[in-house]
Structure 1
Amino acid sequence: MTRTLSVITALTLTTGLLASSMAMADTPEALNELEVNGQKMPVKQVLETPMEGIYEVRLDTGENFYTNAEGNHFLIGDLFENTDDGLVNLSEQRRNTERAERIAAIPVDEQIVYRGTAEPKATITVFTDTTCGYCRKFHEEVPQLNDMGIEVNYLAFPRGGMLSDGARRLEQVWCTDNRTEALTDAKQDELPESPASCDNPVAEQYQLGRELGVQGTPAIVLPDGTMVPGYVPADRLAAMLGIDG
């Protein structure tokens, strides 16, 4: 499955061509200075791949593509390894690892956590929006997930961006004293009459979601970093986690 690079697309609308203004780069480190149509690309990291002479370029936006050491040819899409057991998506493996690492670094007090009374068997992270119908449907099954030993940690992802009503609602939720109760209420269109304001992580979590490839809500991230887009029934989600329903 290929991924469209919005940054590259935006920079090449006038020509319709992908090109680098770099001269023949002597070292792959020079890929950090990649330019397209005279504009420097927001390169975050350059990584080697199993293919000799081909490098993965990761952008600040969370998007990625592949290039040769000279930076004058681009490949957009995922890199697969052809093994005896079939095709292995190396690009997705790397994205999963990054998701797991970055989510693990988020302080618990910046999340909204729903857990059962027993020690959880697994923990999932869910990017959510209170205005999203399928997010509400998923939230109705959180008690069932908790009963099965699955802890649910919510992060904010206002689908309409930070100027949307969804973002305002999420900020109100994160600024209440009882976030779990407030989030449940907000998913039922019940908002506080006198909403509180505070420094909150909604904008940071929204940006994180974009960088990790979230395109809609709910976006469920499993413990290994695998992202499951959209609503998944509790029983099926438990099966994906290897937990008996």
Structure 2
Amino acid sequence: MLRRTLTGIALTLSFVLPAHADDAAIQTQFAKLGLNVESVQASPVAGLKLVATDQGIFYASDDGQYFIHGKMFKIGETGITDVAAAVVKKQLEALLPTAIVYKAPKEKYAITVFTDTSCGYCQKLHQELQDYLDAGITVRYLAYPRHGVDSQTGHLLSNIWCAKDPAQAMTDGKAGKAVAGDGKSCLDIIAKHYQFGAQVGVNGTPAVLLDDGTLLPGYRPANAMLQVLQSR
């Protein structure tokens, strides 16, 4: 139950060094929760270690008996920043080569959208894609099949990502058209997108991830999205 509860509310730190033997106490305590510790390092707060697991980032005491999950913020001269935002950004950058991208001719901003072909508001956003591009907003799609990777939608998304022209295949899929494929060849990509989405807090589609690590749930028309981007 705890494992399911924590999924999607924490963030993964997959690029740091593995945990050292000195952090065995934390690994042992977290293993009791079914959490696999990938790394342990000092956090910005004295007395707390930043612990990266397969279910996201936690902050723990040296002995692992006390832990906190959720976001940590730093108050700076220009406002507050999410301590883990840089982590999200770096992980996003690693996935972007596998995104389906609709680039604005006069790009001012770029957003990453977790999408599902069976989602009504995902279809609506896609129908208004030209409005986004005209506003200078590049749209990058990552897959997030709401019923899981090994679902009918997950298989359709796999076919879309494996298509010769994924951008056109996405348009076809969201229009209810069949997209040829075996439904499995690109499931590894879909699984990576899905896991990342769950870790950054996606619990519905569409969900928009900004380049600064901010997650915006739900559909917004292009003009509303532009206002959000201009205000940051």
Provide the residue aligned with 1:180 in structure 2: 167
C-alpha contact 2:35 2:54 (8 A) present in aligned 1: no
C-alpha contact 1:8 1:36 (8 A) present in aligned 2: no
Offset of residue 126 of structure 1 = 0.9
Write the distance in 1 (CA, Å) between the matches of 2:73 and 2:91.
24
Kindly, what percent of the aligned residue pairs are identical? 34
Provide the residue aligned with 1:71 in structure 2: 64
Superposed CA deviations along residues 5-40 of structure 1, whole A, max 9, x for unmatched, are: 832869xxxxxxxxxxxxxxxx96335523258566
Write the distance in 2 (CA, Å) between the matches of 1:145 and 1:216.
21
Provide the residue aligned with 2:116 in structure 1: 129
Offset of residue 237 of structure 1 = 0.8
Write the distance in 2 (CA, Å) between the matches of 1:216 and 1:206.
11
Offset of residue 226 of structure 1 = 1.6
C-alpha contact 2:110 2:210 (8 A) present in aligned 1: yes
Write the distance in 2 (CA, Å) between the matches of 1:159 and 1:214.
10
Provide the residue aligned with 2:225 in structure 1: 237
| TM-score, normalisation: structure 1 | 0.75
Provide the residue aligned with 1:120 in structure 2: 107
Tell whether 2:214 aligns with 1:221: no
Provide the residue aligned with 2:156 in structure 1: 169
Task: Report the secondary structure of 1:155's partner residue.
Answer: strand
Write the distance in 2 (CA, Å) between the matches of 1:241 and 1:56.
30
Superposed CA deviations along residues 92-129 of structure 1, whole A, max 9, x for unmatched, are: x2332122111212353x2211123x241111111110
C-alpha contact 1:34 1:41 (8 A) present in aligned 2: no
Letter in 2 for 1:132: C
C-alpha contact 1:28 1:69 (8 A) present in aligned 2: no
C-alpha contact 2:26 2:64 (8 A) present in aligned 1: no
| TM-score, normalisation: structure 2 | 0.79
Q: Which runs of 5+ in 1 are unaligned?
A: 11-26
Q: Which runs of 5+ in 2 are unaligned?
A: 7-20
Write the distance in 2 (CA, Å) between the matches of 1:176 and 1:233.
28
Write the distance in 1 (CA, Å) between the matches of 2:73 and 2:96.
34
Say which of 48, 57, 65 aligns to 2:51: 57
Offset of residue 82 of structure 1 = 5.8
Tell whether 2:36 aligns with 1:42: yes
Write the distance in 1 (CA, Å) between the matches of 2:77 and 2:164.
54
Residues 123, 157 of structure 1: CA spacing in aligned structure 2 closer, same or farther, 3 A cutoff?
same
Residues 30, 168 of structure 1: CA spacing in aligned structure 2 closer, same or farther, 3 A cutoff?
same
Report the count of equivalent residues: 214
Provide the residue aligned with 2:89 in structure 1: 100
C-alpha contact 1:34 1:43 (8 A) present in aligned 2: no
Write the distance in 1 (CA, Å) between the matches of 2:156 and 2:170.
9
C-alpha contact 1:170 1:202 (8 A) present in aligned 2: yes
Offset of residue 240 of structure 1 = 1.6
Letter in 2 for 1:167: G
Offset of residue 83 of structure 1 = 6.4
C-alpha contact 2:26 2:63 (8 A) present in aligned 1: no
Residues 182, 59 of structure 1: CA spacing in aligned structure 2 closer, same or farther, 3 A cutoff?
same
Superposed CA deviations along residues 51-82 of structure 1, whole A, max 9, x for unmatched, are: 321223222122x3322112122233333446
Task: Report the secondary structure of 1:56's partner residue.
Answer: strand
Say which of 195, 201, 213 aligns to 1:207: 195
Write the distance in 2 (CA, Å) between the matches of 1:45 and 1:236.
39
Name whichever structure is richer in helix by fraction.
Answer: 2
